[in-house]
Amino acid sequence: MADLTSEFVGIKSPNPFWLASAPPTDKEYNVRRAFEAGWGGVVWKTLGEAGPPIVNVSGPRYGAIWGADRRLLGLNNIELITDRPLETNLQEIKSVKRDYPDRAVVVSLMVPCEEGPWKKILPLVEDTGADGVELNFGCPHGMAERGMGSAVGQVPEYIEMVTRWCKQYSRMPVIVKLTPNIADIRKPAEAAQRGGADAVSLINTINSITSVNLDDFIPEPTIDGRGAHGGYCGPAVKPIALSMVSEIARNPETTNLPISGIGGVTTWRDGAEFLALGAGNVQVCTAAMTYGFKIVQEMISGLSEWMDEKGHASVADVVGRAVPNCGDWQDLNLNYITKAEINQDSCINCGRCFAACEDTSHQAILMSEDRTFSVDEGECVACNLCINVCPVEGCITMRELQVGEVDERTGREVDGTHGDWTTHPNNPAVAAAE
């Protein structure tokens, strides 16, 4: 059987599925339940310095986006860091780590962007026996207005500076949690590496307002007649997270920087995709909040079965396997040509492919008088829209044109070469030169 044991920046856990720093990891009771359910590790909900108490709202803290079947696609969270006393959290972390020595316990931290508070809190966390710290440079709401969270994560110089302090004042591995609310995710990752970070984790939540009540004209969730932006998470953010993880994994400046992948992990397949794009492990929040802690058991069994089927002996065998195949647009083969094909035995004649292509694409799908649908290869650009809107999986597929075949749309013969945008006739620069 595949070995799911994970070792991330020297931190060992029985599997690569960790709970992210969030409400599910706010106290000892929750974390113990999580470990009993099978989670490989947790990142304890963000601690702040002892001082003025954190006061969370006492009204709704989450807004939501649902699919047509009421399936939760995303949460908008306006909750702040832990509002429980620092000393209470530290005692509970110590107790949990003592009783679960084989599980990863990493502590998320957020204090003012000054050397003193970091120097003070790090030894307190180290005394608990925790395996490492995660620097929360990502939260886009509440704490950012106080000069913390994403207010730090959006300034590479601050990231490098604080990371250096943490490496100076602690022997624990330091993971820097990055905000997606930035133009180029590579810059903060490079700054974290310059500061000596052992790893980065991403993505933190995306700045968002999920909905507006059109009776009262108030953003939701509503607190006494007002709303505010919050942090968006859940399955809907997964594509953004995958892209940002891949950006760091294939950046020559950070290719050796370990990554903890976060953002919409709901199934074992989601986790495997993050691993393939360079993440050494994954962190989960919204799935646990939606389905409970035992969701990890499906993730573990699913990943194990897939690895056995594919012959992957360990998690390390999967990490980064897709990175060499991920590039920029200009790297794509412009001489690769496919055409849509409709399987008449599977087609239910709903007409969705026809409507989508006729109204919004290239008029490449034909409808006969008896409502049979076929593809006009002379118009098909292989955009894939028909496959995406078809309700029958596998009914429409893409057929690759072989060497020697002629593309009816362009009249070009497939020659098997790799098309280069810099020399392609559709490139305006090439056309102008000619």
Domain holding 35: CATH number?
3.20.20.70
Name residues of the chain where pLDDT drops below 70. Answer: 50-52, 55, 58-59, 140-149, 426, 434
Buried b or exposed e, range 334-343, using 16+ CB within 10 angstroms: bbebebbebe
Are 121 and 140 in a shared domain?
Answer: yes
CA distance 116 to 45: 22
Does 392 lie in the same domain as 300? no
| DSSP string covering 304-329 | HHHHHHHT--BHHHHTTTTGGG---G
Residue 325 · residue 277 · CB < 8 Å = no
Looking at the domain assignment, is residue 131 inside a domain? yes
Contact 290, 233 (CB under 8 A): no
DSSP 406: B
Of 325, 344, 366, the residue at which a domain comes to its end is 325
Tell me the one-letter amino acid at 131.
D
- Say whether both 237 and 363 belong to one domain: no
The residue whose two tokens read 């599925």 is 17
314 and 350 belong to one structural domain: no
The answer to the question of residue 63 being in a domain is yes
429 and 300 together in one domain: no
Boundary-marking domain end, from 325, 357, 382:
325
Q: Are residues 300 and 400 in the same domain?
A: no
Which residues span the domain enclosing 398?
329-433
The predicted pLDDT at position 169 comes to 96
Same domain, 97 and 134: yes
127 and 208 in a single domain? The answer is: yes
* CA-CA-CA-CA torsion sign (330, 331, 334, 339): negative
Q: Are strands 17-19 and 41-47 parallel, antiparallel or unpaired?
A: parallel
Cβ neighbours of 207 (radius 10 Å): 17
d(CA 371, CA 392): 17
* DSSP calls for 176-208: EEPPS-SS-THHHHHHHHHTT-SEEEE--PEEE
Q: Tell me how far apart the alpha carbons of residues 194 and 20 are, in angstroms, rounded to a whole number.
A: 25
- Secondary structure of residue 6 in the 3-state scheme: strand
Q: Which of left, alpha, beta for 10 (phi over 0: left; psi -120 to 50: alpha)?
A: left
Residues 6 or more apart in contact with residue 105 via CB below 8 angstroms: 31, 41, 42, 44, 93, 96, 97, 129, 130, 131
User: Are residues 413 and 303 located together in one domain of the fold?
Assistant: no
Q: What's the CATH number where 342 sits?
A: 3.30.70.20
DSSP 265-301: --SHHHHHHHHHTT-SEEEESHHHHHH-TTHHHHHHH
Q: Report the number of distinct structural domains present in the chain.
A: 2
Residue 331 carries which side chain, given as an amino acid letter? D
What are the residue numbers of the active site?
Answer: 139
Q: For residue 373, what are the β-bridge partners?
A: 367
Residue 1 lies in a domain: no
Return all residues near 396 (Cβ < 8 A) that are at least 6 apart: 340, 341, 342, 343, 353, 386, 387, 390
Dist CA 285 CA 295 (whole Å): 11
Question: Are 147 and 231 within one domain?
Answer: yes
Q: How far apart, in whole angstroms, are the C-alpha atoms of residue 334 and residue 429?
A: 16
Model pLDDT for residues 217-259, shown as the tens digit of each residue: 988 888 878 878 878 888 999 999 999 999 999 999 998 999 9
Predicted confidence at residue 422, as pLDDT, reads 76
3 DSSP assignment: B
Distances (CA, A) of 33 to 41, 91, 362, 424: 12, 17, 54, 58
Q: What is the pLDDT of residue 148?
A: 62
Q: Is residue 211 included in any domain, yes or no? A: yes
Last residue of a domain, one of 325, 353, 373: 325
Indicate whether 278 and 336 sit together in one domain.
Answer: no
Looking at the structure, tell me whether residues 186 and 311 fall in a common domain. yes
CA distance readout (Å), 209 to 121, 214, 222: 33, 14, 11
Asked whether residue 90 is domain-assigned, the answer is: yes
